[in-house]
Structure 1
Amino acid sequence: MPDFLFRLLRRDPLFFFAWAALGGIVVALAGAPIPFWLAIALSLAAFLTCLLRGWSALALAGIALLFCGWTNHRKCDPETLKTLWSATEAMAAELEGTVMKRFEADRGRHRFIVRVRRLRIEGGPDLREPLICQVSGPLPRMRLGERIRATGMLKGLSPPRNPAERDRRGYAQAANQPAAELMVASPQRLWSDGVAWQGRFLEFAEAARDRLSRTILHGLPADSEEAALLNGMVLGVTADISPESEEAFRRSGGMHLFSVSGLHVGIFGSVAWLILKTLGVSRRPAIGLIVLLGGAYALVTGLQAPAVRAAIMLGVFLGGFVLRRQPRVLNSAGLAALVILAFDPHQAFSIGFQLSFAVLVAIGLLDGPLRSLTRRWLAPDPFLPASLVPPWRRRVQAGGQYFADIVTVSAAAFVGSGFLLWWYFGTVTPAGLIANCALIPLSWLVMALATLSMLAGTCGLGPLSIACNRVNLPLVGLAKQAASLFAALPGGHFELTPASDLLGRTEQNLAEMVIFDSGLGCGPQALRIGAGSERGVWLIDSGDEPGYERAVRPWLLRHAGDHLEGLFLTHADRAHTDGYGKLKRDFSIRRTLTGAGFELPEPAGRWPEASCETVAAGNRWNLAAQTGIEVVFPPQDLPSQSRADDECLVLLISLGPWRILSMADSGFKTEKWILQHRPDLRADVLVMGRHGSDFCGLPEFLDGIAPRVVVANSAPFAMSETAKEATRTQLQKAGIAFFDQEKTGAVEIWRKQENLVLRSFVNGMTVEIGPGS
């Protein structure tokens, strides 16, 4: 081992042990078949050899082997996952397990996460833990830790079918998340066998959190935004925070104030330290009490993973003082990581775990040198005797050093988290470097007053508690104003394509179109135009709410920033427009375009209302050079139709020399009208949905449009399969490429040199067509 690595290993051994543990976990999840008993034997041999021969590297190998075997022991059997995920349809099953987590009811349906003891599949094998499933249905609210038995239809997770859609299957396998969902039809199909002691413990913590929430909000307006922000900053309860405030803190780099993590536990610990020192408690007992209070704080805030990590880190770091040893950030972070990974090796693949420890490592490596640099800048003349330095100068120096320390910590945290935030979310927030200089001191004051309020409320001093809360309210309002101010700084926040999306894509696309797979007729379509001043995103339909949240929103966040140039709502069908409310909440829409008689939904958006225009055949928009959209149907004088599918906007999209005809869910009536009134209309790509009651894709229509590629959505309508098979046969005879989205998922379209490329997201089917016929 090189000398410098040996010195680092001697100084911060636990930091290197944590890296070795991470390597062992990765090797285990990559498929290394090392059983736990063999890993223990090999690691003991490595440790003994290290002690006898002094070979330090063997200690790292022993740690890696130990965690590799432990991960294999804890992870779900690949054959079990294969059984769950190989089925194309839901299977009848019976589940026994313990409720680990529950969610708020949505439209009368409850969801909760269950750690499975036994899973019995009809006609298949019995599956046992370790396995985690989600249970949902019109069920009663379950208690945490409740042991249940339920019967229903089991469906494994499906792989992502759209770009930017979360890979729930891959994440479930890596991070020990729910691998399947059991849909229970009625409460009569679920039975309870009592509550485990862990559940009673968690219920006590939940009741304590509710009581503390009432305490810190006592005497405040119930519906005020500042009260919701206070609840979020102190206890991590964010359900009532408005989208406007959430966006301001996100764009200013202050969203970490609402995730109970290291910052909260650290502030809580420092406030507790001041209180204990004021009461005259000596150092070592005070440290023990702070560690206990940090654990209690993590408990009452819901035992969220970041809070638990922070509480462990606090205990490890302060434990050095109790043992009369100078704690080191890297060594403490390494021990905390080892403890967390020993409890759950899959935490290594949690984004929160990676962010937490990336920030800690960056602070451990960079904060010291940066702080030394700022101290030299702010220090008085070294040749000036200290007795001659005036008091005001010492106070100014102390205040300047305090804020300089905040800046250095913020800069180190920015470096540590910046790459991961870009990799996973595509966000970069330079404004956070400055914003945290204001937000962190304000959050410290808020936490201090909230702690005093909770202490006063617990001791029955109601008036003192209310006084603390009322002082806290303007402080929270000031934090909100500061976040809004920093969020508005030019260049303070950037929405970029996540680095993980750049892998495998080398083309510099001039225009890109995505036809999302919704499974409900013609899915939403997004058109991204060029770069520079002409860059923008147009969207055709929002999709339904689940489809928007699952597929459309993640793609828009990565490619559209915070606004859309325009939105076409093709027709009044909930499968196409239900997501509009959430779309309007998330993005500023500069133009909304609909057909005649279309009533725009009224969302509670955070953006000012954009103009809504009624469009008809003949309207055209030039979006960029050789790129535009034209309305083909309906005409201005179209009589009102009994079905919304017969009033769909039909759009012709131009990408250079190529034409893409988007039919939405139009049926044969619309196709007949186009043949009669636009007999010269041709398109290279035809995008077809599914009419609710009529056929679409008439043979004469396909002959008239003469497409070279057809993209067809699947939908659960009675006529769809018959119509699709007839269309497939005709296309095969004509030599036309056919993307059946039931098999291909979303279809991505982009220009590549002299060709237009269409690629399936699911199976990789790729077609390139040149200009002309």
Structure 2
Amino acid sequence: MMKLLRSVIFAWPEKNPILLLSLAAVLGILIADHWSWKPSWLLILITLLTWLPFARRPSLARAFPAVLISLALLHAYRMEATFDHPLRLHLLSLPARPHEATLQGTLLPWVEGSELDAATALCEVTHMRWGAGGPFLPMRARIKVQLPPGWKLDKPGRYEIQGRLSVPQPAMNPGQFDPVNYGLRSGWIAILRTRSLSFVEPEGLGLRFHLLNAAEKSRQWITTQLTRGLENEGEHAAVILAMALGASDAAGEDIEDAFRDSGTLHVFAVSGLHVVMLGQIVFWSFRGFGTRRVIFAVIVIVFVYAFITGWRPSAARAAFMSSILLMGPLISRHPRLLNSLGASALLLLIYDSHQLFTPGFQLSFGVLLAIALAATWLQARAASWYRLDPFLPTALVSFPQRVWSGTRREASSLLCVSVAAWAGSLPLMIGHFQTITPVAVVANILLVPASGLCLILSCSSLMMAALQQTWAVIGINQLNAYLAKGMVFLAGTFADLPMANHTLDLRFQGPPAPAEMRVFHLSSGGGASYIRGGEKRWLLDTGSLRAWRSVLRPFLRHEGINHLDGLILSHADIAHVGATSWVVKAQHVPHIHTSHLEPWAYDPPFASLKKLSSEYRPNSTVWRRHQIEDVLSLAPNPPLPITAQVLYPGTQDRYEKADDRGLVLMLHIGPWKVLYLNDAGFITEKTLLSRRTPLQCDILIRHQHRADYSGLPELIHAAAPQVVISSNNTFPMEERLPERLRHYCEHHQIPLLDLEVTGSIGMEFQTDAVQITSFQGGASWRLKPASAEGTTPN
């Protein structure tokens, strides 16, 4: 047995040498990235020396270290051109604000996903200077440029761009998408917000510029044809475009969520699956023209399709791999799936080694590797289910028996591939998204064939459009729209099943604090906080829908939270409560709490809380309304029970502006008090003071009133907090943190935590101390009871 096992282990590398070399490339890239190797003449010399034994006597054992060192050197050069670029390091050493700069270089259209972003361009810089005057200095860099409003990039060449240069803002909340790492892995190091732009001179052929524009024109033509006759089917037309071109934004985030939560997002957006399906459609449609001609046509078409749809890692991988597999018969070689997969990975990593760190690359190759290794084995184990009786003569097999056997064989094949794909994606889905989707095994059995049929209909529509058969195009598109509608229904049905998807807590930390709270950093004047006591979890406001998708939902996924015990909604401001309906559905929220003034009688029907009242009746078991002196029990169990006491509004506090009637709460977390002011302005603050409301607290949390004087020194004096946490939005101007508040806190030595600087603020409550930590920089403060020594910075 051991001898057989040893022979299999040693035979595997000989059968799949290119896959082994791709693993060497992966290992080399990981080593260079982890230890931050710097390119040097010594490293170049070592690389050349590792190739000498291979040149003298080629073998797999000699190629492995040579490929490893070569890819490590290549990745080190790319790291130096991005993460360690001198311009980026210089910007990081300057104060955290945009700086005036002028760039000279080539502008290229900016491709976002599968579409061109007309408001953005990529500048391949050759020269730059600081400020508007002075000499230009040589500089090689790639910078993202935000173009002036209405300006169109319509010709290639060298441009001079003046504007404000900065590095991207980092993630400001746990679990949030990291734009800095994404930009660097994509090859650009900074952002320039353009003030003025001028054309300097034409440069070369501008081949890449013209190719990108040709791809955009092709997308526009395909979009026009696939949506012809679907003017009243906007949602379903968008689904067709998402599956054919990867334009998922047009379909809306609700539909995308349904496919994501059912584990079938790969059929909703362009992936390797679509490239392979397209290749099969072309091959079977034109197989009568001769095998060699059709193979060449398929290779060209899959590469063009991958380029038109944005050259995604999965599509690029599928284009390379299908081409390698198809070229095997042309050179009288039998291609191996694992070898072809390895060759595709090796070519893509040589082209761009940063792709190794993207979830798309990892999922694409991980899933296909699992299918290649496990699907055939599973199908062999399931063969007894669909095979006919081996002792039954073929002549005696009836037609229904043949059909039933074939149907079971295809179903078995789909199930085995689906199980293998799910198993291959499982560790990566857990690692990247902390999510498992068991329902995906079944959902893919139905939705993968449906997506293939959708692609067939799309290709048929385009062929009819090329033949100018408009009546046929409209008919096929109508049929495709019905199919898209059915796919959306199936995805939503699977996503809504119990335990269809589940979030895991992978933080692997020690025992949690008895209670904790987090104030989120939200842009554009929004506000939201999370509070936990024991096993009870609440949100204080939800933020806007955009904030929910980009900040709160990633945070809840990061924390492994699948269920919230309730929502407290402060006031009818879309930036505070705009995502309520989505949060209630996604987190199975049983209770909603607002002030007794919401929904405001004079708000329009489309206002956030007015719309919510059409789904849930106020003053019901789900929606409860509160006024002064009401106390909400958020987490009743010791050692730190949590209650929320309503300080405002009262029955007389009826004001037109939502900010002036927002809830003000005193959170009692064991012995600690947290004053939660929300967007309180002059009216609210003066009312609290005139009523002699007890305001003394340990922590004061505030957001900025949109159009009123706020942050009154007398209110801060009455509250006497040990720490103040405040939002500070640079736009609009009215929502900036007041300077008088800064001066007051500085004069009285009260730490003022500006969310725009610190990022979100986390608080861990113990019976004898509170640990406060900023997300940005990790600065921390330790609060002791007010009667003790007060605030201690760590």
**TM-score using structure 1 length:** 0.86
Q: Secondary structure at the match of 2:144?
A: strand
* C-alpha spacing 1:467/1:226, structure 2 compared with 1 (3 Å): same
Letter paired with 2:351: F
Counterparts of 1:224-623 in structure 2, within 5 Å, are: 224-277=234-287, 280-497=288-505, 499=506, 502=507, 505-508=509-512, 511-518=515-522, 523-528=527-532, 530-531=534-535, 535-540=536-541, 542=543, 550-556=550-556, 558=558, 566-570=566-570, 577-578=574-575, 580-581=577-578, 584=581, 588=585, 591=592, 593-594=594-595, 596=597, 598=600, 599=603, 602=607, 609-611=615-617, 615-623=626-634
User: Relative to 1, partners in 2 of residues 1:739 and 1:719: Cα closer, same or farther, differing over 3 Å?
Assistant: closer
- SS class of match (2:125): strand
Measure, in 1, the Cα distance between the counterparts of 2:474 and 2:737. 65
Report the Cα offset of residue 185 of structure 1. Answer: 3.0
* 1:578 counterpart SS class: helix
CA distance in 2: counterparts of 1:454 and 1:438, whole angstroms: 25
Query: Residue 265 and residue 342 in structure 1: after superposition, are their counterparts in 2 closer, same or farther (change >3 A)?
Result: same
Alignment gaps of 5+ in structure 1: none
Quick one: which amino acid aligns to residue 514 of structure 1? R
Match of 2:74 among 61, 67, 70: 70
CA shift for structure 1 position 314:
1.4
Amino acid at match of 1:609: E
Q: Does the Cα contact within 8 Å between 2:727 and 2:737 map onto a contact in 1?
A: no
2:125 partner amino acid: V
d(CA) in 2 for partners of 1:234, 1:719 = 47
What is the DSSP-based 3-state SS (H/G/I as helix, E as strand, rest coil) of the residue aligned with 1:164? coil
Amino acid at match of 1:165: Q
Map of 2:142 onto structure 1: 131
Change in 2 beyond 3 A, CA 1:605/1:212: farther
The aligned residue for residue 792 of structure 2 is none
Whether the aligned pair in 2 keeps the contact of 1:569 and 1:577 (CA below 8 Å) is no
8 A contact 1:155–1:181 mirrored in 2: yes
Cα offset for 1:286?
A: 2.3
Matched, 1:724 2:742: yes
**Which is further off, 688-697 or 741-750?**
688-697
Which of 150, 162, 167 pairs up with 1:156? 167
Corresponding letter in the other structure for 1:637 = Q
33 and 241 in structure 1: CA distance in 2 versus 1, 3 angstrom threshold: closer
Q: Offset at 1:132? A: 3.1
Name the SS of the counterpart of 1:663 in structure 2. Answer: strand
- The answer on whether the counterparts of 1:570 and 1:595 sit within 8 Å (CA) in structure 2 is no
Which range moves more in the overlay, 429-438 or 747-756?
747-756
Q: Structure 1 residue aligned with 2:216, among 206, 220, 239?
A: 206
Q: Which residue of 1 aligns with 2:129?
A: 120
Amino acid at match of 1:26: L
Counterpart residue number, 1:98 = 107
Counterpart in the other structure of 1:81? 88
RMSD value, Cα: 3.7
Describe the shift of the 1:374–1:191 C-alpha distance in structure 2 as closer, same or farther (beyond 3 A).
farther
**1:498-518 superposed Cα distances (whole Å, 9 cap, x missing partner):** x4xx16x33335543211234
What is the deviation of 1:684?
3.0
What is the aligned residue count?
749
Give the direction of change, closer, same or farther, for the CA distance of 1:271–1:199 in structure 2 (3 Å limit).
Answer: same
- The alpha-carbon distance between structure 1 residues 305 and 199, as it changes in their structure 2 partners (threshold 3 A), is farther
Q: Counterpart of 1:721 in structure 2: which amino acid?
A: E
Check whether the contact 2:107–2:121 (CA below 8 A) recurs between aligned residues.
no
Mean CA deviation greater in 577-586 or 425-434: 577-586
Tell me which residue corresponds to 2:182: 171
Deviation, structure 1 residue 336: 0.5
- Unaligned 5+ segments in structure 2 are 1-5, 619-623, 788-794
- Equivalent-residue separation in structure 2 for 1:630 and 1:300 (angstroms): 57
SS at 1:149 equivalent: strand
Deviations 1:60-96 (A, max 9, x none): 1111211122223333343232112232221111122
Q: Any residues of structure 2 matched to 1:727-766 within 5 Å, and which?
A: 727-731=745-749, 739-741=753-755, 743-751=757-765, 755-766=769-780
Partner of 1:58: 62
Q: Taking structure 2 as the reference length, what is the TM-score of the superposition?
A: 0.84
SS at match of 1:757: strand
Whole-angstrom distance in 2 between the partners of 1:229 and 1:525: 34
Per-residue deviation at 1:370? 1.1
How many percent identity over aligned positions? 27
**Partner AA of 2:188 in structure 1:** P
Q: Partners of 1:258 and 1:145 in 2: how far apart?
A: 34
Q: Is the 8 A contact 2:759 2:774 kept in 1?
A: yes
**Contact 1:15/1:335 (8 A) holds in 2:** yes
Contact 2:314–2:361 (CA under 8 A) maintained in structure 1: yes
Instruction: Write the distance in 2 (CA, Å) between the matches of 1:305 and 1:114.
Output: 23
Aligned partner letter, 2:648: F
SS of structure 2 residue aligned to 1:287: helix
Q: Which residue is 2:790 aligned to?
A: none
Q: Deviations over 1:651-673 (max 9, x none)?
A: 12233343211122435764554
CA distance 1:243–1:695, shift in 2 (3 Å): closer
Secondary structure (helix, strand or coil) at the match of 2:388 reads coil
Q: Provide the rounded CA distance (Å) in 2 between the counterparts of 1:466 and 1:676.
A: 69
